[in-house]
Chain A
């Protein structure tokens, strides 16, 4: 394929693709970073909060820790679901149009 990369870079479709990929990545990364560092900072500043008991045998920290683990997995799931469907079809559409020209 012989094509001017600058032309592709400036095309509306490519710009939209980059913007969409970047916003999905950025939002998911910010959620993960925010939740994790939020968790760490709560631990550092207010131990009592996570150490409080819900019932005997269950402190507040245990379900929250479990939630962070499940969230990490869930967010990767969201990304795969989006990328393997929407993102890849947009990529394929651009590739097709490049081949046609």
Chain B
């Protein structure tokens, strides 16, 4: 295949057109959603009126970030098989959510997972600790998304980085501030449909060149770059590293606040379960598509061109779109990537704002006594503050290597949020002290260990060797969080919490309160 000259980076009419249609359409939806969003239940959970299938698409929309679309396609295009290992890690957390926490989350909580952890424990200390875990997860994830989006928009559309960040921030704040969960959910649904359609179209265009036979495509890649692209490479070499990363991906998914709060947008447990099934199916399908897109880019675009444009390979899918469908198709895929970014940051901001208003303001600061209007007002102020913070953080971290922050967000979610959630559901003796110990230990270990790990200590801070050997801290930080939860519960028992356990357990299974 000859080298080709790309138009990426120049203003693309199709792309701008699609983009405006998307923005206009979603803001229109936000306008209607705003009329329906009056109460806290509307703002946090769309009044529980989303269907199981819709929520499944929205969950998939929340989870399929631009990083996983462009990043994993790029990883596959440069490393081959290794990219699939990453995708699988991101998928296998979903069944765990379903089997272990879907029922209790649904039956014991109202808007956030902290509702469940604090169900029978002392509200204030537990809510404060849980908020720290939640907000850290949301913030690190948000920084990674904002910085990635600024760089992406700059590269694709030629817009200045700062303008791109401000634009993303402003539109996202509009969605969440005015439309709450209802608008955010519809933005996610539209984005998920666009992303799945775009990726499917891209795959069909690639497969058309290989007689619709994936094996022919892989064989072409093998002929061009050797057997190594179809075999596992350097991504998983140290077994401890592999297990630690696996734990972070698997249990981190089950501790992401913006995913967990989606369980409250559906009317009942049946719909909640159905939505996890739908989401897992779409996400799995999407990862299979990105695998083929990656190989398509490897063969049809070529690794030199891909890595010449961006070392991490982030432009692979876009280059492939241009090679197979010209500038019009490139424009469509680029607009889809932009929509993807907007939707993901909106979901994160809403989750963060809910933590600030529902967990911190109402249940800690006001001791659970705040009326509807006051809570909605605080939630909106929190949205505005978080949105502005996201923009500021996006500007501050410009040009920094923030790829590790996604891993860190998953590590904190797996270490701070998941153990406390699981222990509070399963263990009668779990006490307030245990919960606080567990969350604080999990968060601290995750952050400290990742700083002294090869991921930050060597790759970001350029020290010669790392103090902590594993690239992802979850193996140690998650174990530490469970041990701390046990230790805290042993040294300080909580008799009130223990006496409330039967009531909690009945409600956990039957979904009704008996006292």
Residues of chain A touching chain B, judged by Cβ–Cβ distance below 8 Å, are 1-6, 8-9, 14, 17-18, 21, 24-26, 28-29, 32-33, 36-37, 39-41, 43-45, 47, 50-51, 53, 55-59, 61-62, 65-66, 68-70, 72-73, 75-77, 79-80, 83-84, 88, 91, 94-95, 98
Contacts and interface: CB of A to CB of B under 8 A. Distances in A.
B96 interface: yes
B232 A61 contact: yes
B231 A47 contact: yes
8 contacts: A29-B100, A41-B243, A50-B232, A55-B215, A56-B222, A57-B220, A79-B99, A84-B274
B280 A73 contact: yes
A59 B502 CA distance: 52
B515 A79 contact: no
B89 to A, nearest CB: 8
Q: Which 8 A-B pairs have the closest CB atoms?
A: A51-B231, A57-B219, A44-B239, A5-B502, A59-B230, A57-B218, A25-B99, A57-B215
B209 to A, nearest CB: 14
Interface in B479-515: 502-503, 505-506, 509-515
A8 B215 CA distance: 57
Nearest to B246: A40
- Do most interface residues of chain A lie in helix, strand or loop, or is the interface mixed? helix
B96 A32 contact: yes
B238 A58 contact: no
Interface string B89-109: 101101110111001000000
A36 B286 CA distance: 19
Contacts, number: 177
Contact of B505 (A9, A41, A45, A61): A9
Nearest to B235: A43
Contacts of A68: 88, 91-92
Interface of B: 81, 84-85, 87-89, 91-92, 94-96, 98-100, 103, 215-222, 227-228, 230-233, 236-239, 242-243, 246, 250, 269-270, 273-274, 276-277, 280-281, 284, 287-288, 291, 502-503, 505-506, 509-515
A29 B96 contact: yes
A32 B89 CA distance: 11
B509 A17 contact: yes
A72 B239 contact: no
A24 B273 CA distance: 14
A43 B242 contact: yes
B230 A51 contact: yes
B242 A77 contact: no
Contact of B218 (A62, A72, A73): A62
A9 B502 contact: yes
A55 to B, nearest CB: 7
A46 B222 CA distance: 21
Contacts of A37: 243, 246
Contacts of B511: 91
A47 to B, nearest CB: 5
A95 B512 contact: yes
Given A25-B99, A55-B215, A1 B513 contact: yes
B68 to A, nearest CB: 14
Nearest to A8: B506
A61 B88 contact: no
